[in-house]
Amino acid sequence: MGGVLAIIFLFANFVMLLVPSLSLPLCTDSRAPITLNITLSFCPYNGKTCCNATGDSQLQKQFQAMNISDSGCSSLLKSILCAKCDQFAGELFTAGSVVRPVPLLCNSTGSNSSQSSKATITDFCSEVWDTCQNVSVRNSPFSPSLQGQAGAPVSSNFTKLTEFWQSKADFCNAFGGTSKDGSVCFNGEPVTLNNTGTPNPPQGLCLEKIGNGSYLNMVAHPDGSNRAFFSNQEGKIWLATIPEQGLGETMELDASSPFADLTDEVHFDTEFGLMGMAFHPNFAKNGRFFASFNCDKVKWPGCAGRCSCNSDVNCDPSKLRGDNGAQPCQYQTVVAEYTVNGTASEPSLAKRAKPSEVRRIFTMGLSFNGHHGGQLLFGPTDGYMYFTMGDGGGPGDPYNFSQNKKSLLGKIMRLDVDNIPSAAEIEKLGLWGSYSIPKDNPFSEDSGLQPEIWALGLRNPWRCSFDSDRPSYFMCADVGQDVYEEVDIITRGGNYGWRLYEGPYLFTPLETPGGITPLNSVSPIFPVLGYNHSEVNKKEGSASITGGYFYRSMTDPCMFGRYLYADLYATALWAASESPENSGNFTTSKIPFSCARDSPIQCKVLPGNDLPSLGYIYSFGEDNRKDIFILTSDGVYRVVRPSRCNYTCSKENTTASAGPGPATSPNSFANRLCDPYNSLVLLFSSLLLLLLGLF
């Protein structure tokens, strides 16, 4: 058995070495960098950085304690210590789950596709050795005992590199590395990525209409087939078959035969209803799925939960002004678990689900009648459930729920729904339902946070998605109030500013019965994308963002890699490009759109022009082929080949499929399988899974 485990460990490490990493501005604790308006006093960092004034001061004291007499070596070691402040510190210092004592030092003139050109010609590791090898340093970070052990005790004696390492090669084998496959290494200066320029936006987006229903949610079937689940706000879920492109067919969905009917439990109104659904990553075997909805405790006995306005958050429910005469917390937000087990010989074959709850995952009373968020997603790498929750409503978040770390309103939560505690444990821990808390949630470092919280400072997150090619990109659109609509990259413990900020703008609430959070107590993460209300052609004098997806299909190769999003009321869509790649810096453009001449269902046209009338844009969807869908009040639309709308895309003829159905993307399973490098990864991954299955 020990031998098998050793083999498994060997294969696992081998596969991890082959899997490329991607740079994203993150700190060593997985938090997003903060934005400073000044340069730190010791470390030469400003703008986006992982250090505040306190961290900068601590690094200065550590540097002074090293007592380095040689000025050249002193300068190099200062830059190495200060790399902790770099916006890419998370990747510079992290190797797997271990934090290095020093950053990965650039030590090769070889391939370097992501960093500045200086990194490709500077052998920084050699420079450190040549300059510092015979310099005495107290508490040297280069002790062999410290490799992969940041924070381990060090000797207070003066030591030289030559006392630890026999040669430059040994030293650079331990602390050096190259920047490949989007990763970064440190060359003595703040990390910069190659700016390849912003690519020209696509000429236009071509759509076809394949369904007439109005839906809030679309989730691809976890079995990888051409099927997907759709749900409407009233409380019904359907299983549909998505047709091949180019065949002129509509999606197969029997409106009279829903997969699940939850309308008896769901309270449906303008801002209430079935808000989200998610299928367990292992649904094909365990048959588990989840729904997020609102209920009315006056009409349904099963609608019962603690009020979000309570003594823990300094809120008195008796003083709430009920909207439309409603009782305080009459309406609840619920996450419930359901199953298809027993309805078919195996879950993937199920066409119906049992309508009764298996488990109540979460219930919370709502203080006001709006801003409930309610989307459910499973993290593609961790398997945990992410649950979005708005600030609960009320102009300007009057009770300051979004900034209150003890409130779950205005937050994104991260829950473990696979390890269910007992009823006694739930009560003891003060949980809101049947779930447990992932140990690496931010509360482990910020004891002020409720343990469910993953991110805070949101007004009403409306449609989030993980990038299928880069799961670290967790994109959420957050609805603004008076001025600005935003898109954020959500990171662990990130504070996105509301109600201190509305997007990048300072916000002053009219009412503050819940108190005020001091501005200098928060380091907000500002949006990477967004738009002012004045920038959209509005219906009903309003604006409300609808988040989308990174486009990862090659059906429209000119759209590949862009983040697609929209406004609920707008007559335009936006596509955002990131430049440099993996930098978090985006530029966005409005994208014209048309309806394909041979659309299976004829599109309505706006009077006076040729634009299709989509109605309200409720949401986006992505199927198992990575094609993107737009869910609107007028129907279901799919992005198709540009040429079907007479748009020109020079890449279409060389990369897009000539026959029916979408082409595979460069990162599709089929293309990965044909790549010898990735075939080796798949081979060893398969062997690893086989061994794990045997034992």
Can you tell me the distance from the alpha carbon of 426 to that of 431, in angstroms, rounded to the nearest whole number? Answer: 5
Helix residue ranges, H only, 420-558: 423-429
Helix residue ranges, H only, 342-451: 423-429
Cis omega (within 30 of 0) for bond into 317: no
CB 295 within 8 A of CB 263: no
Out of 98-107, 349-358, 673-682, least confident range:
673-682
Matching residue, tokens 């994208």: 591
For the chain, helix, strand, coil in percent to 5 are 20, 25, 55
Beta strands in 255-406 (DSSP E): 260-261, 274-279, 288-296, 331-339, 359-365, 376-378, 385-389
- For the stretch 62-87, pLDDT in tens is 999 999 999 999 999 999 999 999 99
- For the stretch 101-154, pLDDT in tens is 899 999 864 433 345 433 344 689 999 999 999 999 998 998 776 554 444 444
Higher pLDDT, 289 or 34: 289
Which residue ranges form the domains of the chain, and what is each CATH number?
A: 2-177 (no CATH), 205-465+473-652 (2.120.10.30)
Task: Specify the 3-state DSSP secondary structure of 168.
Answer: helix
Instruction: Annotate 628-692 with DSSP letters as a single string.
Output: EEEEETTEEEEEE-GGGGT---TTHHHHS-SSSSPPPPTTSHHHHHHSHHHHHHHHHHHHHHHHH
CA of 418: how far to CAs of 4, 374, 444, 451, 618, in Å? 27, 20, 20, 17, 30
Cβ contacts of 503 within 8 Å, gap of 6 or more: 480, 483, 484, 485, 486, 497, 526, 527, 530
State the number of CA atoms in the 13 A half-sphere of 152 facing the CB.
16
The percentage of the chain sitting over the pLDDT mark of 70, rounded to a whole number, equals 83
Instruction: Annotate 638-653 with DSSP letters as a single string.
Output: EEE-GGGGT---TTHH
Confidence of residue 332 (pLDDT cuts 50, 70, 90): very high
What pLDDT is recorded for position 158? 85
Q: 472-488: string of b/e by CB count within 10 Å (b at 16+)? A: bbbbbbbbbbeebbbbb
Cβ contacts of 319 within 8 Å, gap of 6 or more: 513
CA of 327: how far to CAs of 120, 296, 345, 365, 391, in Å? 65, 10, 45, 11, 18
Is the pLDDT at 691 greater than 70, yes or no? no
CB 127 within 8 A of CB 173: no
Out of 73-87, 411-425, 526-540, 544-558, least confident range:
526-540
Cβ contacts of 169 within 8 Å, gap of 6 or more: none
Cα-Cα-Cα-Cα dihedral sign, residues 555, 559, 564, 568: negative
CB atoms under 10 Å from CB of 166, counted, come to 8
Task: Specify the 3-state DSSP secondary structure of 120.
Answer: helix
- For the stretch 201-244, pLDDT in tens is 889 999 999 999 999 999 999 999 999 999 999 999 999 999 99
- For the stretch 433-477, pLDDT in tens is 999 999 999 999 999 999 999 999 999 999 999 999 999 999 999
Segment 268-290 shows an average pLDDT of: 96
What pLDDT is recorded for position 655? 53
CB 561 within 8 A of CB 575: no
What pLDDT is recorded for position 607? 76
Sheet of strand 484-489, all strands in order from the earlier edge strand to the far edge? 461-466, 474-478, 484-489, 529-532
